[in-house]
Structure 1
């Protein structure tokens, strides 16, 4: 199957709204990922518009730790697509190979790179809202020099382009790019996402990064439950078991994670401060 100048080789992932294919440029052979809106949703103008909103926003973003968008468009059938750089691995698979746990140096390096990418997004008032290992692609899997890139703004809150006012660039009107009551992945959702997910912003990303950093260090999630209501209770009311990190991370990192996992959004540090502290934290 052809999508513009690209040939689709195989489907590698399917979700509620999109399918992702591995492909290549028909002339140069450049490997790419092609994300396409599910055919069943193509008749929904709202969903299609949100997909294109994500695609157009991604094409304007340039950061060393963000997956790069190559091009986007709409097929003659009306199916919108987004072409992205291809990275074969993700943090979910890397963690499985590593037994679920990373050395403190590698975990801190991954978190610092994610913090830098998310701080960059937050500077444009774009909030990811679905940070999880499967959305962290691995460019270099040598743990000593691991390099990652953040992917998938499918649930992001992305402002509409309305010109530049007051030096802010993007206007405040924002939309989410999925139609469901809860926006996010349960294990990484901040308390406010459980209560009123569509209004969740930057602090929810800080919380999710705190969960992910805890998981990389401890080899397990801080909150575990089989039922949705039980997991919601833990995220809303229970303190994270930070004692599990003793001996696994320096005190400064444990203190930072405690702040990132604060139940109140406004009590969490800003993402730019998280990124700075992770970059500056002396390792054990």
Structure 2
């Protein structure tokens, strides 16, 4: 039985949201776990099924191991009731081929599909080690606006790729979005379950196996045209994403309804409560306006395409006004470096209000007349720049050497925090550096801008290690270094370190060990420095326990 984490009410069987307050329900512990007949079996001679990890409209999802590659995969087994006749088998095979054509960083790749000798239809996908967006919402909602835009932009990037390949998702919801934490991106998005997608009609004579009037999806996230069983297009997926954005902002659905028909009636007859009203505090006007437009009952009022909505979402990010996203008027970019959905340059779009759409509220005036650009640089009128140009004092060689060391450390700090703060990092490094009394004070002040306690702890630990080993880097060439060259290490020691670190960093472990070993004087210090490269504090502690016993007392 599911219970509401907000008001503790028990939910109705199968319900996703509380009927009393609208919060997402949390599944309670089951008294007995029935034995799954597929667990322990080897499907199609190569996929050893280990455990069930989820269920969907088409079937159940399992974690399995590819017997030859010895790598984990996600394996979806189609419900027998859906393959009662050959037409449905043909539909499944067609849609599996369509999904396998999607190759995008934000889409879970389909690697295989088929039918076993026992008649079991299955689809094999890449395994994502993370948690669903539904779990993220249950744990962290309401999410910060910056995080909402970051996640939403990646989902839209995946939808744009699918729509370009004439594929609709038709069941977009938080359960079908996986969130993975990587070293370069805190919330890396993978959209899954394109398996029930419908091939868009290409040309007037194209046929489809989807029966007329077939409703496929989850009512709380379905567009009015889906609930009616009518024709759907790319804008139907955008409606579903509007619901997901709304839920990330508020921890609630736009409408609370128990049946599809009740949901359809409320969508068509009631105004959408603004996210700021359900969130309990203001939402940036541009972001709120875009979410409300995406939830329009008339599809022509929604954004035209996933790519257009993504550009508007990133444009809205420039006016975010949350306290945790801005400090003293700083405008922060929402996408960290290395993000697959990051554009080269995203101009701020000015979209005229559509007929019948809720007008966007005027943005508050900026705190300063100088505009802060996405790259974190300020623009100043040329005449003012000329008048205010400071006189640079002449420095001697000792001062220049000290300045060079400080600049080198500041650059390393900037590179470290850039994935967390984006292009505003150079501005913050410069601003904090002007007022910091010592390098440690410099690091402490910068840590206050990082988004989470875990990020702050990791950053301060890294700073301590950097300040400790910096003198060894800056010794004159004539002095023997205190570290160990890579060639002098025992290959077996480095091989073990790579294996231990790969559990936390994957294939990147080989590169990290090769770089870090030149800074370590012994095996104990090697493992300590490698631990600092792991994002999670809990994982760092677990890795430190892997230090060989004979090296711990070194």
Question: Residues of 1 paired with 2:81 and 2:257: CA distance?
Answer: 33
Residue 148 and residue 55 in structure 1: after superposition, are their counterparts in 2 closer, same or farther (change >3 A)? same
Determine helix, strand or coil for the equivalent of 1:72. strand
Residue 109 and residue 172 in structure 1: after superposition, are their counterparts in 2 closer, same or farther (change >3 A)? farther
Using the TM superposition, give the Cα deviation of residue 182 of structure 1 relative to its aligned residue in structure 2, in angstroms.
2.3
Using the TM superposition, give the Cα deviation of residue 15 of structure 1 relative to its aligned residue in structure 2, in angstroms.
4.1
- 1:1-284 aligned at under 5 Å gives the runs 1-4=41-44, 5-88=46-129, 89-98=131-140, 100-140=141-181, 145-159=186-200, 172-176=206-210, 181-197=214-230, 199-242=231-274, 243-244=276-277, 247-270=281-304, 271-281=306-316, 282=318, 283-284=320-321
Determine helix, strand or coil for the equivalent of 2:196. coil
Q: TM-score under structure 2 normalisation?
A: 0.46
Determine helix, strand or coil for the equivalent of 2:229. helix
**Alpha-carbon contact 2:74-2:126 (below 8 Å) kept:** yes
Q: Which runs of 5+ in 2 are unaligned?
A: 1-40, 322-554
**Alpha-carbon contact 2:212-2:229 (below 8 Å) kept:** no
1:22-78 Cα deviation digits (max 9, x unpaired): 101113321111112223444421221121112111111101110011112221223
Aligned residues: 272
**Alpha-carbon contact 1:115-1:272 (below 8 Å) kept:** yes
**More strand as a share of residues:** 1
Question: Residues of 2 paired with 1:235 and 1:86: CA distance?
Answer: 36
Determine helix, strand or coil for the equivalent of 2:65. strand
Q: Which runs of 5+ in 1 are unaligned?
A: 166-170
**Alpha-carbon contact 1:52-1:80 (below 8 Å) kept:** no
**Alpha-carbon contact 1:259-1:269 (below 8 Å) kept:** yes
**Alpha-carbon contact 1:42-1:79 (below 8 Å) kept:** no
Determine helix, strand or coil for the equivalent of 1:36. strand
How large is the RMSD of aligned CA atoms in angstroms?
Answer: 2.5
More contact order relative to length (CA 8 Å, sep ≥ 6) = 1
Determine helix, strand or coil for the equivalent of 1:20. strand
The structure with the largest alpha-carbon Rg is 2
Q: TM-score under structure 1 normalisation?
A: 0.87
Question: Residues of 2 paired with 1:102 and 1:141: CA distance?
Answer: 19
